[in-house]
Structure 1
Amino acid sequence: MLLVKKNIPNILKILLIIGFGYFFWLMLKITLEYIPLESDVSFLMIKQTEVHERPEYLAFFYTHVYTSIFVLLFGFLAVLRNDFGMKNFHRTTGKVYILLLLLFSAPAGIYMGVFANGGIYSKLSFVILGCLWWFTTFRAYQLVREKKFKLHKQWMWRSYVLALSAVTLRMWKVIIVFLFHAEPMDVYQIIAWLGWVPNILLIEFLIRKKLI
């Protein structure tokens, strides 16, 4: 029985890695749709007004898309630091995560949120998400500089579950379309909030229960 209990964490870690690998591959496939640079493919097909009327839009869009895939990857690699006992690896991947997010991914995401589809409700959600994403990451950076490692870990988890909104948003979209066959813009307004609010509530619950 003791052996079984001892093996459960390792099994969960393996499942976590497999699950992340699957969803990361899906996100990578989406990112690769924008290589080479095109202004009328995939998501950009419904953003032609911004593409043509705002010369800076594509720069912000590609900055967000190209850096966010690395943010997802390096954030996950940083999470694994205790499992493999590689502190220097954790520091390096964590620095890359923070640098890319604070300077590129979050600011570009906030800009894109201002022009999000779905009206004011979607715009408000994505702007709040971007601001929270930036703030939680910056707070985690401040805390590690102050050597408050436990608090740093908690704030990094807050940051990373917000990063995972890119994944959970698409999961909710599939579920809602399958169950309710709602109109596209109605779906977008709903998943704009479902993509990140349950994530942050869950991580807050785990932190309060001292499970993280």
Structure 2
Amino acid sequence: MLSAKKNSSKLFKILLILGFGYFFWLMLKITLEYIPFNPNVSFLMIKQTEVQDRPEYLVFFYIHVYTSIFLLFTGFLAILRKDFGIRNFHRNIGKVYIFLILILAAPSGIYMGFFANGGYLSKISFVILGSLWWVSTYKAYQFAKQKKFKEHKQWMWRSFALTLSAITLRMWKVIIVYLFHPNPMDVYQIIAWLGWIPNILLIEYLITKKQI
């Protein structure tokens, strides 16, 4: 029985790594489109008003894009910390994760939220997402300093659930466009909320059930 449970746990971890690796690779491909700096590619093609009228927009955009891909990677490594066997690995990578979100990724995401496509519904969602991302990460940092590691772990899971919105938002976009073919602006309004609300609800459920 124990052997079967151990094997199923190992299989689940392998599938988790493979699944994350695939979606991380897709996200990395998107990120690499913006190297070298080019304001006339991909997503920026539909943000030319902001690019031309607000010079700071590109700065916040690049900060957000480059830090977000790194945060997906470091956050996932932190989850698998026990498999590395490196002393202080979790603490050190956690510090990088927290610093990048609090100082760079979340503030730049909040700024960009004010100019999101899809009207006020999308703008409100992305500003809330960025704010919750910052708050949950800061709470995790506070509890770590207080050595309340159970609470720290729970808030870090909430933070990473919001980090994963970079992936889940795009997954929902593919599904919705494939099934319903809605107006592009309608898609933005829907995925702006679907990208992060199911993530955080799932984490809250797991925390309540003491699964994490």
Superposed displacement of residue 2, structure 1: 3.3
Letter in 1 for 2:178: F
SS in 2 for 1:56: helix
Q: Please name the residue that 2:184 is paired with.
A: 184
Q: Please name the residue that 1:81 is paired with.
A: 81
Superposed displacement of residue 148, structure 1: 0.4
Change beyond 3 A, Cα 1:197–1:81: same
CA distance in 2, matches of 1:4, 1:86: 28
Alignment gaps of 5+ in structure 2 = none
State the Cα deviation string for residues 88-146 of structure 1 (Å, max 9, x = none).
11111111111111100000000000000000000000000000000000000000000
Change beyond 3 A, Cα 1:74–1:18: same
> Which range moves more in the overlay, 166-175 or 87-96?
87-96
Letter in 1 for 2:56: E
Superposed displacement of residue 23, structure 1: 0.7
Superposed displacement of residue 81, structure 1: 1.4
Letter in 2 for 1:158: R
CA distance in 2, matches of 1:201, 1:182: 26
Superposed displacement of residue 3, structure 1: 1.7
Q: Please name the residue that 1:65 is paired with.
A: 65
CA distance in 2, matches of 1:173, 1:36: 26
Q: Please name the residue that 1:98 is paired with.
A: 98
- Work out whether residues 67 and 100 of structure 1, in 8 Å CA contact, stay in contact via their aligned partners in 2: yes
CA distance in 2, matches of 1:126, 1:77: 26
Change beyond 3 A, Cα 1:70–1:109: same
- Please identify runs of 4+ aligned residues in structure 1 that moved more than 4 A: none
SS in 1 for 2:141: helix
Identity %: 74
- Work out whether residues 64 and 104 of structure 1, in 8 Å CA contact, stay in contact via their aligned partners in 2: yes
CA distance in 1, matches of 2:53, 2:110: 18
Superposed displacement of residue 82, structure 1: 2.9
CA distance in 1, matches of 2:175, 2:168: 11
Change beyond 3 A, Cα 1:87–1:196: farther
SS in 2 for 1:132: helix
Q: Please name the residue that 1:200 is paired with.
A: 200
Superposed displacement of residue 59, structure 1: 0.3
CA distance in 1, matches of 2:178, 2:60: 32
State the Cα deviation string for residues 36-87 of structure 1 (Å, max 9, x = none).
0011110000000000000100000000001111111101111111344445
Alignment of 1:170 onto 2:170? yes
Q: Please name the residue that 1:10 is paired with.
A: 10
Superposed displacement of residue 7, structure 1: 1.0
1:84-163 to 2 correspondence within 5 Å?
A: 84-163=84-163
Structure 1 length-normalised TM: 0.98
Q: Report how many residues are paired.
A: 212
CA distance in 1, matches of 2:84, 2:96: 19
CA distance in 2, matches of 1:70, 1:140: 19
Alignment of 1:32 onto 2:38? no
- Work out whether residues 81 and 87 of structure 1, in 8 Å CA contact, stay in contact via their aligned partners in 2: no
